[in-house]
Structure 1
Amino acid sequence: MQPILQIQGVSKFYEAHQALNQVSFDVPKGSIFGLLGPNGAGKTSLIRIITQITAPDEGRVFFEGQPLQPQHVQQIGYLPEERGLYKKMKVGEQLVYLARLRGMEKADAVQRIKVWAERLNLKEWLTKNVEDLSKGMQQKVQFIATVLHEPKLLILDEPFSGFDPVNANIIRDEILKLREQGCTVIFSTHRMESVEQMCDYIVMINQSQKVLEGSVREVKSRYTSHTYQVEGTGKLMITSPDFKVLSQKQHGNHFQAQVQLEPQVGPNQLLRYLIERVEVQHFQEEVPSIHDIFVQTVTEE
């Protein structure tokens, strides 16, 4: 399947500062794609290029196989980290206005606003001024404005900022529903637990360059250390040259061990070694979290 978005050798300069340096990656259709990196890495510069707020100094961007054009903006929804609503304007009127800017007919906009207001518990607030709403409510309004025109590509920059846990879960569920309906989501955040829960693919940018890319499963497997936590009952003292014992404890008839396999050894060999000697009650590989990978990659860079 053709990617919905292709970034090819994109570079961006601001006077003496290079914000992006030959960045390339593809965003698969119908996926939630994590755009990761520390502050100042170049993520915002890249988002501004995709949304055509600025243009690349080098490289090309393709949307559904075509060079990015002004008309493609109508098929993209962008929720920036810095929110912006007209404080004195009524919520419903503002949503209609923003929908019209996206090319929607007024009647269609009004109908979709009613549906979204019902889903996000905003129905009674449509006739209120934006300034009368809490920060979380305003975030919901901005989210509706971003998705109202049913974009093919949705770019969310820190979408959970300002939400309490309950409303963050509501927005998360709505994002997952949009993916199920075929929308592609670029998800930029510093909340690595959200990346772990939601993203299918990730790319990491650091110091203006791409440093990591792949599916979440592939990336995590790349950083695995082949280390296992094992627990059980019986007397155990691992002495095999096939395993590097990182820690080993015996409490009465209960043992705990952290074991790293040698490159040529598989987990079944460790399991066979154990069950011949003790009763195994817990056997789990230590898989690095996206948070750990993020910290390690940025530190190494």
Structure 2
Amino acid sequence: MLEVVRLLRRFGEKTAVNEVSFTVPDGTLTGFVGGNGAGKTTTMRMIMGVLGIHGGEVRWGDHAVTAADRRRFGYMPEERGLYPKQPIVDQLVYLARLRGMSAAAATSRADALLERFELSGRRKDKLESLSLGNQQRVQIAAAVIAEPVALVLDEPFSGLDPVAVDSMAALLKEYAAQGVPILFSSHQLDLVERLCDRLIILADGRVVAQGSAAELTETGAHRHRLVLGGDAQWLREFPGVTVLEIDGGTAIVELIATTTDALLAEALSRGSVRELAEVRSSVSDIYREAVA
């Protein structure tokens, strides 16, 4: 298990990461979301030892993470770290050998990954000759080339087309099924909600919400959709209800100090009711509420 305990990082007088704590359990896909400047990349860099830690610690299993531990992690940085003028396969083999793989094993592994990402025909091409999406695929291959025990990925889906997104998602699910803890950041909240076992929401350098998608949506505001046969404007005056949206006979409301039974009884006393249903909050809704 990868664990972050009260991480702190300052840049001058600005506190970029302020006592951030969370866990990435074995075999889970954990989404790391937040706006630009929230502290996601800085936190990931501290996990990987790229940035110094001003407070707190990173733990791997039952001990503080070591340089040897980090060498077994797969990392995809925000600024892609491959060499634009080097052949793709050569640098993948090089990176694998830095992690202790033999030349033969590294070459076999690189070829298998390039085939998976439909790049086997371009194995000797320079990285700069590829499209940005294909460069992203090579960067992903570099992160997993040495069979990592943990994955820390900063925006791994950025620039990928839908087919490549599905391929990347399948790859990450395979690693999670093998017990690898995976932390990745993304601005694509629908993708995060679909893929992740857990989510961590960061704002202004602090964790403002974390848990499974089900846990987060359960703690969100409980909204209801009411569809009437007539106009719904009377809801604005009904006690215990906050009206979020009204369009003719359809309204979205939050029940603040009343019950669905009371609301339904009042609605029926005024005419026909076509629908009264709970509207579950999405991860996007939870995110907006948490960072507001």
Please give the TM-score of this superposition, normalised by the length of structure 1: 0.83
Q: Which amino acid aligns with 1:175?
A: L
Deviations 1:86-106 (A, max 9, x none): 122111111100111122222
Task: State the distance in 1 between where 2:171 and 2:188 align.
Answer: 18
Task: State the distance in 1 between where 2:120 and 2:192 align.
Answer: 30
- CA gap 1:206/1:257 in 2 versus in 1, 3 angstroms: closer
CA RMSD of aligned residues (A): 2.9
Task: List gaps (5 residues or longer) in structure 2.
Answer: none
Task: State the distance in 2 between where 1:182 and 1:268 align.
Answer: 46
Task: State the distance in 1 between where 2:264 and 2:143 align.
Answer: 51
Which residue of the partner structure matches residue 289 of structure 2? 296
Please give the TM-score of this superposition, normalised by the length of structure 2: 0.85
Aligned length: 288
Task: State the distance in 2 between where 1:184 and 1:20 align.
Answer: 22
Which residue of the partner structure matches residue 31 of structure 1? 28
Q: Which amino acid aligns with 1:292?
A: D
Deviation at 1:298, TM superposition (A): 2.0
Which residue of the partner structure matches residue 163 of structure 2? 166
- CA gap 1:76/1:270 in 2 versus in 1, 3 angstroms: farther
Task: State the distance in 1 between where 2:176 and 2:266 align.
Answer: 44
Deviation at 1:131, TM superposition (A): 2.2
Assess if the C-alpha contact under 8 Å between 2:240 and 2:257 holds in 1. no
Q: Does 1:228 align with 2:224?
A: yes
Q: Does 1:62 align with 2:62?
A: no
- CA gap 1:284/1:170 in 2 versus in 1, 3 angstroms: farther
- Secondary structure of residue in 2 paired with 1:288: coil
Which residue of the partner structure matches residue 175 of structure 2? 178
- Secondary structure of residue in 1 paired with 2:183: strand
- CA gap 1:76/1:273 in 2 versus in 1, 3 angstroms: farther
Q: Which amino acid aligns with 2:282?
A: S
Q: Which amino acid aligns with 2:225?
A: Q
Match of residue 141, structure 2, among 108, 130, 144: 144
Task: State the distance in 1 between where 2:132 and 2:231 align.
Answer: 56
- Secondary structure of residue in 1 paired with 2:156: coil
Task: State the distance in 2 between where 1:86 and 1:142 align.
Answer: 10
Deviation at 1:16, TM superposition (A): 2.1
Assess if the C-alpha contact under 8 Å between 1:200 and 1:215 holds in 2. yes
Task: State the distance in 2 between where 1:190 and 1:288 align.
Answer: 18
- Secondary structure of residue in 2 paired with 1:292: helix
- CA gap 1:213/1:108 in 2 versus in 1, 3 angstroms: same
Which residue of the partner structure matches residue 10 of structure 1? 7
Task: List gaps (5 residues or longer) in structure 1.
Answer: none
- Secondary structure of residue in 2 paired with 1:162: coil
Q: Does 1:111 align with 2:116?
A: no
Assess if the C-alpha contact under 8 Å between 1:36 and 1:202 holds in 2. yes
User: Within 5 A, what are the aligned runs for 1:1-301?
Assistant: 4-224=1-221, 226-231=222-227, 244=241, 246=243, 256-258=250-252, 260-261=254-255, 265=259, 284-299=277-292
The alignment-based identity, stated in percent, is 34
Task: State the distance in 2 between where 1:110 and 1:258 align.
Answer: 58
